[in-house]
Structure 1
């Protein structure tokens, strides 16, 4: 059978129909690759895959005596960066491959093959199965979240590639299931109420949508409510304000999973964006204003804010505000005011890749 005949047969069977419904039966909050029938005919990944990491033993990067957790200890940071480097390399590989597939609307089939092959390799190895510390669990949530969103992007290509995704889904599910008790069975901890909880909720909910697990999606929504319903009338997250000189940084960091959670859950029937009197919009506007002028954040936190990292274009580094593309899709009336803060496409591996490409068809080619 020729390749063209095979493509037409698969297309005729409906496997390539554009739908925001994932293979799990849950709604994706974005439009997946639309033109798989026009793929490049390359069914094999020719890239070197990142090797699995089984064990992680991470600790905080901050000085122990700093109660605000805003002063980095250089030795602690170096130790952390070295320990997590292999895991980050995996996430970068998977999300960039998935983004390349999505950006070409399905033409780069080999990129989907690379993302699936890497996910499958780590699933076969039962990667991240030996997490030695609570910090290891907290940091791994970003890996789970990004991987799950990347998987949502390339899952439709699995049929063309004749790729069995069962192992990937079992692995993601295990990671999500082991994340939940980190927050629910650890007592009264600040990290169960602030940005760590939102990242945990995003990771678990993303897996829920990817594999079709209502309980996981519900945990994500519960985590979202914890965050967005803390937002004050001014738009502040009180627990992130306690980070003193890094309050602005942590407001932006907390917004990323909250925005993604709102997108995932609302696509599947929950009320999210308008929850708690539009708490997410108040938080986003306050935090974005703090990029333009940090004086209000400094007054409320009682500390001069550390500078945000800049990209080559002189603007705030894109990974810090990659969620903004999702936010502006929901609130286009805010685009004129905040679009000058970035140049697209925005990318963050922890959110699943090139988020502008995933959420905006204008960035696809």
Structure 2
């Protein structure tokens, strides 16, 4: 289900041919990426990966599925097993591709690696998806709601390899950045115009904000970065005084599961935005710190969340088991707040990794600190 992480993921959509999807137009900020690598987009470059670089899977153009939850399930608290399986099948090729890409991109942080070769491989695999305008046809509200975390993953993966790209890869950097920018603009429109009211204050909005923050790092688009900051603050500022998130607390026995699913993009977005002049972590009485501390305090028994919802939480009723990916966001948060207790918690689970956050968070944020 949504937020499961890196264990068994998801989902089949309709593969796209090269002509699929109408372009929505380039964002002006994308030109800055091209300038940075001293290249302008030209004719379609050869996309044959080099040795030891697998070809990209067929681009997924369209996603169309309904809710995972049973009809009449108040606040989406009761899964429909068949619908859940259908969503998993629809998203599987996207999530499998993202895991593979994250693993490859994380190689740039390994001692003795060849970062330019790794960057070239990742870009060669992303280029066909960008040329096909993958994920352009999101035909249901459920598909639009869940696209943000996938776009965030693509952007965070690309963000790792762009500094290592050679001059000859400049056209692909621009191509892929422009594709992500178009998809994020579509997300921005959806969340401002068409998203369900409750969802606008919850974890899926936070994931869309992370997609915008990471993509804005690639395109230097000020409006996109501002929307990311606004959306992150919008969710953070709903936090209760104890740090619980009201939208996630409506989810019955899944409430803590979704609190964790929300804190991940909130923490990583804040870590991306703060150095760029958007101090969202301190908004609404340092809401992010409250959210983090509530979440961490509940990991042993979920007592407060159980009291709030009236139900034993899924991590403690045998439904789910806490895993490292649930805490991968700690690495980003520690760059904002080097709390010794949180550092000790992170050390127990390291290396921390989550493909939707770009893979190996321990390596990624160590590199960020060294920049």
Structure 1 CA distance, aligned partners of 2:229 and 2:208? 11
Partner of 1:146: 153
Aligned 1:1-365 pairs, distance under 5 A:
46-104=53-111, 107-159=114-166, 162-164=169-171, 165-186=173-194, 189-307=197-315, 316-335=322-341, 338-339=344-345, 342-361=348-367
Q: Relative to 1, partners in 2 of residues 1:234 and 1:183: Cα closer, same or farther, differing over 3 Å?
A: same
Structure 2 CA distance, aligned partners of 1:340 and 1:324? 6
Cα pair 2:98 2:154 within 8 Å, conserved: yes
Query: TM-score, with normalisation over the residues of structure 2?
Result: 0.80
State the secondary structure of the residue aligned to 2:158: helix
For residues 246-293 of structure 1, what are the alpha-carbon distances to aligned partners after superposition, in whole Å with 9 as ceiling and x for unaligned? 110010000011111111111101112222111111111111111122
Structure 1 CA distance, aligned partners of 2:225 and 2:238? 20
Cα pair 2:108 2:115 within 8 Å, conserved: yes
Structure 2 CA distance, aligned partners of 1:263 and 1:107? 27
Structure 1 CA distance, aligned partners of 2:191 and 2:294? 27
Cα pair 1:356 1:363 within 8 Å, conserved: no
Structure 2: gaps of 5 or more residues: 1-28, 34-48
Cα pair 1:102 1:153 within 8 Å, conserved: no
Cα pair 1:259 1:280 within 8 Å, conserved: yes
Shift of 1:161: 5.0
State the secondary structure of the residue aligned to 1:55: strand
Shift of 1:333: 2.0
Please report the RMSD computed on the Cα atoms of aligned residues, expressed in angstroms: 2.8
Shift of 1:162: 3.8
Shift of 1:205: 1.9
Q: Relative to 1, partners in 2 of residues 1:172 and 1:340: Cα closer, same or farther, differing over 3 Å?
A: closer
For residues 200-242 of structure 1, what are the alpha-carbon distances to aligned partners after superposition, in whole Å with 9 as ceiling and x for unaligned? 1111221111111010001111101111111121111111111
Q: Relative to 1, partners in 2 of residues 1:49 and 1:234: Cα closer, same or farther, differing over 3 Å?
A: same
Q: Relative to 1, partners in 2 of residues 1:287 and 1:128: Cα closer, same or farther, differing over 3 Å?
A: same
State the secondary structure of the residue aligned to 1:274: helix
Structure 2 CA distance, aligned partners of 1:195 and 1:324? 17
Equivalent residue pairs, number: 325
Cα pair 2:30 2:178 within 8 Å, conserved: no
Q: Relative to 1, partners in 2 of residues 1:200 and 1:23: Cα closer, same or farther, differing over 3 Å?
A: closer
Shift of 1:153: 0.8
Shift of 1:330: 2.2
Structure 2 CA distance, aligned partners of 1:78 and 1:315? 20
Structure 1 CA distance, aligned partners of 2:321 and 2:342? 16
Q: Relative to 1, partners in 2 of residues 1:309 and 1:87: Cα closer, same or farther, differing over 3 Å?
A: farther
